[in-house]
Amino acid sequence: MAAAPNKYESIRDQVLDLVHGLDVGAAIPAERELCEQFGVSRMTLRRAVDDLVREGYLDRRHGSGTFVAEPKIAQQLTMTSFSEDMRRRGLVPSSQTLSLTTVTAGAPLGRHLEISPRAQVRRVRRLRLADDRPMAIETLHVPSELVPGLQARDLVDTSFYELLAERYGIEIGAGLQTIEPTVLNAEEGELLDVPEHSPAFLFERTSRSVGGRIVEFVRSVYRGDRYQLQVELRPPRTRGGRADGERVSAQDPAIASAMQTHPNSPE
């Protein structure tokens, strides 16, 4: 059970257990009481509770108490696969492999994958469907050496991330995704069953293993009429505290917008 070396992590887990036994809206015991119960100082107890508040399990009300929070509507967008993403919305994901080829990386792809331009890359093009209607076209690139023996049928009804983990022992650690608006070309329109020039999202995702190595570069085009993003915006400062007219503080980076300074990024 990988005992936490830190007291506050252990306390966090214990308080979380306590929370699980309570109803939404119920108050947890006062901080000083919990301190005594767990035998820790208030600073340590608060650090544990701070975490749970950040994670959305608890709400604090100054002068009143700490309460079990409403389950969040918008859960974190983590390292979700297409299948996960669709299932979460009550749709049935499916997939149709359009092509599975091996190509030489070349300069731009080599840069994205941080490998030699002469390295071999497996390239999978898939049509992604939700409730049997086209949703996106996904083009996935993986360094060949990472996935020896990869075959088209491996991808039929398995999440690619599961495949990576279970067959190749590769654990995804982090990713960066850029999002742009685009319009569909004729071929994309036909595949997605919408008119050419329809608006669409272009996602480009780069994922790294826990070791820091780039595992995949994915380029996906999503139908703009079926797919929409939602962002929950939080006020600059979590606290009631004011001040700081100059800069907006950031609680925890998750989404950011960035300028594309050079519209002609060599890709």
Partner DNA sequence: AAGTGGTCTAGACCACGGC
Partner DNA sequence: CCGTGGTCTAGACCACTTT
Give the residues lining the site for DNA (CB under 7 A).
5-8, 28, 30-33, 39-44, 46-47, 60-66, 239-241
**77 or 100, CB closer to its own copies?**
77
Q: Is the dihedral of CA 254, 78, 147, 109 positive or negative?
A: negative
CA angle 69/78/247 to nearest 5° reads 75
Find which of its own copies, DNA, none residue 213 binds, CB within 5 to 8 Å per kind: none
d(CA 42, CA 153): 56
**241 or 245, CB closer to DNA?**
241
State the nearest-atom distance from the C-beta of 205 to its own copies, in Å: 7
Q: What are phi and psi of 181, to 5 degrees?
A: -85, 150
State the nearest-atom distance from the C-beta of 145 to its own copies, in Å: 23
Find which of DNA, its own copies, none residue 154 binds, CB within 5 to 8 Å per kind: none
**151 or 178, CB closer to its own copies?**
178
C-beta neighbour count of 161 within 10 angstroms: 19
Terminal-to-terminal C-alpha distance of the chain: 46
Find which of its own copies, DNA, none residue 63 binds, CB within 5 to 8 Å per kind: DNA
**61 or 118, CB closer to DNA?**
61
**242 or 262, CB closer to DNA?**
242
State the nearest-atom distance from the C-beta of 39 to its own copies, in Å: 19
Find which of its own copies, DNA, none residue 21 binds, CB within 5 to 8 Å per kind: none
Structure tokens at 173: 């650690």
Q: Name the residue among 200, 204, 258 with its Cα closest to residue 229.
A: 200
What number of CA atoms fall less than 13 Å from residue 148's CA on the CB side?
Answer: 2
d(CA 215, CA 168): 11
The helix/strand/coil state of 133 is strand
**23 or 252, CB closer to its own copies?**
252
Find which of its own copies, DNA, none residue 77 binds, CB within 5 to 8 Å per kind: its own copies
State the nearest-atom distance from the C-beta of 235 to DNA, in Å: 15
State the nearest-atom distance from the C-beta of 23 to its own copies, in Å: 16
Q: Name the residue among 141, 139, 138, 140 with its Cα closest to residue 115.
A: 141
Find which of DNA, its own copies, none residue 66 binds, CB within 5 to 8 Å per kind: DNA
State the nearest-atom distance from the C-beta of 61 to its own copies, in Å: 13
Q: Are strands 199-209 and 172-183 parallel, antiparallel or unpaired?
A: antiparallel
